[in-house]
Amino acid sequence: MTLEKEVASRKTFAIISHPDAGKTTITEQLLLFGGAIRQAGTVKGKKSGKFAKSDWMEIEKQRGISVTSSVMQVEYDGFQVNIVDTPGHEDFSEDTYRTLMAVDSAVMVIDSAKGIEPQTKKLFEVCSMRGIPIFTFINKLDRDGREPLELIAELEEVLGIDAYPMNWPMGMGKGFLGLYDLYNNRVELTHPELNGDNDFLPLNEDGEVDGDFEFKKSSIYDQALEDAQLLVEAGNEFSEEKVAAGKLTPVFFGSALTGFGVQTFLDAFIDFAPSPSAKKTEDGELIEPLEEQFTGFIFKIQANMNPAHRDRIAFVRICSGEFTPGMDVTVTRSKKKMKLSHTTQFMADNRETVRTAVAGDIIGLYDTGNFQIGDTIFSGKKAVQFEPLPQFTPELFNKVAAKNVMKQKSFHKGIEQLVQEGAIQLYKTYHTGEYILGAVGQLQFEVFQYRLLNEYNAEVTMTPMGSKIARWIDEEDLDPNMSSSRNLLCRDRFDQPVFLFENRFAMNWFADKHPDVELKSLL
């Protein structure tokens, strides 16, 4: 296959959702529809053992969750679909956000009984900031949930994105008859056996189904026709450009658990989800996916699951060119040249032939400390540095100290390396020089503690400080007397001054008192 065809066949996306909305269930369905050609890591070990990996960290085994995200590749209808998992639940972290920097579109899964939940909103905002297309799957229609019209309105009101229903549910729960499918001009039935063994029936010119079928006897069908009519007349207009710009989300309904509506969703997703596009460098230059030069950036570094081995895995999103095992690349930041001979499981599955990895694909490189998050690697002579990855404002904080003063050295070394991986952020209190760790999710602290002990033999004490609001200020605005009992003045690891506010009230109070000081957040 030519490079052009390879790249055009790639669809790289992440699923964003609040815990329990059905991300795992729909991922498993997608893997079933396609021939799963490679899976690295797990979907989540807890329900389906077949996706679980044996050498997961102890902490993951204990909790039955995955600490870090993984990549699944599925072949479907001639396309290579890359699903990049976004860790949720307690393992929600900076990694979850950064994964969204490596995908070309996102699928937002919403529980029809719950609507938009907090984590969905946070993840949506990161996607929205990138302007990537967002596809919505409203899940669990086999159960009674909220009114579909109300859910659509919530998408627009809470997330501020226009919504366009591609299909419409005919009932829900026990009365779920199927989908009135405006995109495919048909109805899709949940109970073909009651309707002459028809899964699908075409719509006539009036948007109705001809013939005598069981489902048509229900008032639910009439209601769906009425709703659909309303949508056509009063709803948003479909615009492919708006979808591509992330300004309009196509909405699908279904049930991941029963698999109903998932393939219909997948087919339309394949039609509209973008293939990899050009990526901007630091200098504003665009690197096209078809350029011959191999380029990629590191969006995640994961510790080796086996504590006996110190090495780590760096996840690279390929942006241009073609990856070949053993190729020579340079790390732009350090100018270090290296041979990419040790790639991970994404390249080496059970198949005999190693498939080509091109723009849109994600490869894992064994790392012995050469890479940092945000690094660009390139082949050939022309140095390339992609735009820096955004930093995310941590919300939870812990004081940390070495338990044993004799182990200070390994404590410092461990902290430095783990902070470099980007899973956790480090601060020092301005006045007393104590170490404070900040993270987006709680589990990061436990992982940190576990790894310091197991990999660096340093036992630490952690004192939870709860949630704080972190705001950065400019160095010239800094006056150490601004610090009070309601805020803690610190420096981050780049020596920038940052206040950790007790709560929003404390922050507003500060802002009133120092109107000239600009308080800045990360993302």
Q: Which of 10, 38, 140, 468 binds ligand GDP (CB under 6 A)?
A: 140
What x-and-dash track marks residues 242-271 binding ligand GDP by CB under 6 A? -------------xxx--------------
Scanning 235-377, the segments in alpha helix (DSSP H) are 240-244, 262-272
What value, to the nearest 5°, has the Cα angle with vertex 10 and ends 6 and 14? 160
Residue number with CB closer to ligand GDP (21 or 266): 21
Q: Residue 303 Cβ, how far from ligand GDP at the closest point, in Å?
A: 23
Question: According to the annotation, is 89 in a ligand binding site?
Answer: yes
Q: Does 121 bind ligand GDP (CB under 6 A)?
A: no
Of 298, 34, 257, 238, nearest to 142 by C-alpha is: 257
Q: Does 63 bind ligand GDP (CB under 6 A)?
A: no
Q: Which of 25, 264, 376, 449 binds ligand GDP (CB under 6 A)?
A: 25
Beta bridge partners of 250: 164
Q: Which stretch binds ligand GDP (CB under 6 A): 20-28, 265-273, 434-442, 490-498?
A: 20-28
Question: According to the annotation, is 199 in a ligand binding site?
Answer: no
Q: Does 23 bind ligand GDP (CB under 6 A)?
A: yes
Residue number with CB closer to ligand GDP (46 or 491): 46
Question: According to the annotation, is 91 in a ligand binding site?
Answer: no
Residue carrying the six token digits 């859910």: 151
Q: Residue 23 Cβ, how far from ligand GDP at the closest point, in Å?
A: 3
Q: Which of 20, 117, 144, 459 binds ligand GDP (CB under 6 A)?
A: 20
Question: According to the annotation, is 307 in a ligand binding site?
Answer: no
What value, to the nearest 5°, has the Cα angle with vertex 65 and ends 64 and 67? 135
Q: How many CB atoms lie within 10 A of CB 229?
A: 11
Q: Does 122 bind ligand GDP (CB under 6 A)?
A: no
Give the DSSP H or E segment for 84.
strand 79-84
Strand order in 396-402's β-sheet?
A: 460-467, 396-402, 435-439, 425-429, 487-492, 497-501, 469-472
Question: What does the alpha-carbon distance between residue 252 and residue 275 come to, in Å, rounded to a whole number?
Answer: 21
Beta bridge partners of 490: 429, 498
Q: Does 451 bind ligand GDP (CB under 6 A)?
A: no
Contact 187, 199 (CB under 8 A): no
Q: Which of 12, 24, 66, 96 binds ligand GDP (CB under 6 A)?
A: 24
Residue number with CB closer to ligand GDP (34 or 276): 34
Question: According to the annotation, is 24 in a ligand binding site?
Answer: yes
Contact 80, 11 (CB under 8 A): yes
Q: Which DSSP string corresponds to 434-501?
A: -EEEEESSTHHHHHHHHHHHHHH---EEEEEEEE-EEEE--GGG--GGG-BTTEEEEEETT--EEEEE
Q: Residue 217 Cβ, how far from ligand GDP at the closest point, in Å?
A: 25
Amino acid at 43: V
Question: According to the annotation, is 23 in a ligand binding site?
Answer: yes
Q: Which of 63, 114, 143, 486 binds ligand GDP (CB under 6 A)?
A: 143
Question: According to the annotation, is 87 in a ligand binding site?
Answer: yes
Q: Which of 8, 9, 11, 22 binds ligand GDP (CB under 6 A)?
A: 22
Q: Does 139 bind ligand GDP (CB under 6 A)?
A: yes
Q: Which stretch binds ligand GDP (CB under 6 A): 2-10, 117-125, 138-146, 376-384?
A: 138-146
Q: Which of 142, 322, 455, 492 binds ligand GDP (CB under 6 A)?
A: 142
Residue number with CB closer to ligand GDP (22 or 497): 22
Q: Which stretch binds ligand GDP (CB under 6 A): 22-30, 76-84, 310-318, 457-465?
A: 22-30
Q: How many CB atoms lie within 10 A of CB 405?
A: 8
Of 123, 124, 96, 100, nearest to 423 by C-alpha is: 96
Q: Does 295 bind ligand GDP (CB under 6 A)?
A: no
Report strand pairing: 162-165 vs 248-253: parallel
Could you list the residues known to form a binding site, using ranges: 17-24, 85-89, 139-142
Could you list the residues known to form a binding site for GTP, using ranges: 17-24, 85-89, 139-142
Instruction: List residues binding ligand GDP (CB under 6 A).
Output: 17, 19-25, 139-140, 142-143, 255-257
